[in-house]
Amino acid sequence: MKQVNFSHSGGFPLEQETLERLQTAYRTELFGALKSHLGISPDNDYIVAPATNKKEGWAIIRQDGEGILYPIQIGTPTNFLKTTRTGTSLTYGTGVLKNAYFDYDAQYISPEDYANRPESPQMTDALAIHYYDLNKPAFIVIKDIKSIEADINLINQTYLPLDGSKAMKGDLDLDIYQLSKLDIKESSVASVRVADFRLGSIERRGKLKPYDSTGRALVDSSDTSTTSLSLNYASDWENTNIGGKVYLNNINTSNATGSLLVVDNANQVTKSNTLIDSLLNRITALENKLATIATGAEVNVASNWNSTDPLSDAYIHNKPTISVSDILARGSFDIGDLNKTDIMKTVYFTQINTSNYMIFGSIRSKSEYWSNDNDVIWAVKPINTFAFELYLREVSSDIQNIAFDYIIVKK
């Protein structure tokens, strides 16, 4: 840094070179050191200290190929700045008047003043005016030392070190991001406070369900009356495999004859100690009954339509159970003579509330020539809730006079 010694006796020879040296000392070297320390680049504009209603601020703005330091007048900060460079003239020893002093000043202006700025502001050696939108291009704000120290203190108080030397306070919210790995420290207890615990991988379940790669593996399905834990809730996986032995602690100890696991009406697996004995007793009774019947014999066979005991000799197996309420419609369709080999007829009936039904019917002879009327093959096909199709085939060229009687029942 340049320095001038004014302490020598005999009168200092104050010349123009001395003044240039002094200006270089503070403007080039001192100011340059400050800009370097603050990381100020000649390619950007900066607000070194924003002005407020109580104190001035400072800005460094690129003009005339260098960064000029502007004081900002006291006032409310806005996004717009007006700078003014004013030149003051002096009469030199040669009698020539030249601009020797330059004063730099800046002030915040309103959006309206910026919008109404002159298209060609004054730009002379005596007066140069510039207007700036602090966001276009953006001015970089340089924090002061106290603000930086406050930020450092806040970071020291709130940051979470990677080595785990500090405990995190508050909940961890990763927003749209995810943990890349979850592996807790060895511990006797781990709590997961969720109702639905979902598992799944894009490379496994996701191959069949790419839009929902996770399923409800464990679900807390408790309510106000009981606690309940569901495994593979609502069959999110088609299969559930359990490796190893399965121990059911809520089942009582079995007796010496053994036990069976059965599923009750609520689809709960339960243990039965009496079912085996009951089945064995019934098998023994059947064997004893069979032993009393001769091979191939049918002795005292008397069927009873009202018998409900399947072991009774009178019990009728596979009885039809069609009731009057099962009959949906009935009718007769006049066919007459089949005048060609294959014919299709549409039979209409009163509309019913389902198309899931069966058709029972028969061909009825209407003439005295039964040998003509029986030369017909037929089939039916339900098509909707008010009609079915009747397919007929004639096996001879005789003239028939027939009708089709039918009833329609629920499936």
Structure confidence by residue, pLDDT tens digits, 5-23: 777 777 777 777 777 777 7
Of 182, 63, 36, 194, nearest in space to 121 by CA: 63
Quote the longest CA-to-CA distance of the chain: 163
In the Cβ-directed half-sphere of 277, how many Cα atoms lie within 13 Å?
Answer: 8
pLDDT band at 256 (very low <50, low <70, confident <90, very high): low
H or E element in which residue 147 lies: helix 145-158
Report the pLDDT averaged over residues 271-299: 79
Q: Quick one: pLDDT at residue 314?
A: 79
Report the pLDDT averaged over residues 58-66: 88
pLDDT tens for 304-323 read 778 888 888 778 887 776 67
Query: Residue 301 above 80 pLDDT?
Result: no
pTM: 0.41
pLDDT tens for 217-245 read 999 999 999 999 999 999 999 888 888 88
pLDDT tens for 318-362 read 777 667 778 999 999 999 998 878 899 999 999 998 988 999 999
DSSP letter assigned to residue 322: -
Burial class (CB in 10 A: 0-12, 13-18, 19+), 334: exposed
Q: What are phi and psi for residue 331, nearest 5 degrees?
A: 175, 180
Q: Quick one: pLDDT at residue 315?
A: 81
Q: Quick one: pLDDT at residue 81?
A: 96
d(CA 145, CA 38): 10
Q: Quick one: pLDDT at residue 403?
A: 94
403 with 335: CB under 8 angstroms? yes
| Assigned token pair, 76 | 């409310």
Query: Residue 381 above 80 pLDDT?
Result: yes
Q: Quick one: pLDDT at residue 236?
A: 92
pLDDT tens for 195-215 read 999 999 999 999 999 889 999
pLDDT band at 174 (very low <50, low <70, confident <90, very high): confident
Give the range among 24-33, 287-296, 367-376 with minimum mean pLDDT.
24-33
Report the pLDDT averaged over residues 281-301: 78
Q: Quick one: pLDDT at residue 171?
A: 84
Any bridge partners for residue 219, and if so which? 196, 230
- Outline where 301-385 has alpha helix (H): 370-373
Higher pLDDT, 163 or 256: 163
d(CA 250, CA 328): 50
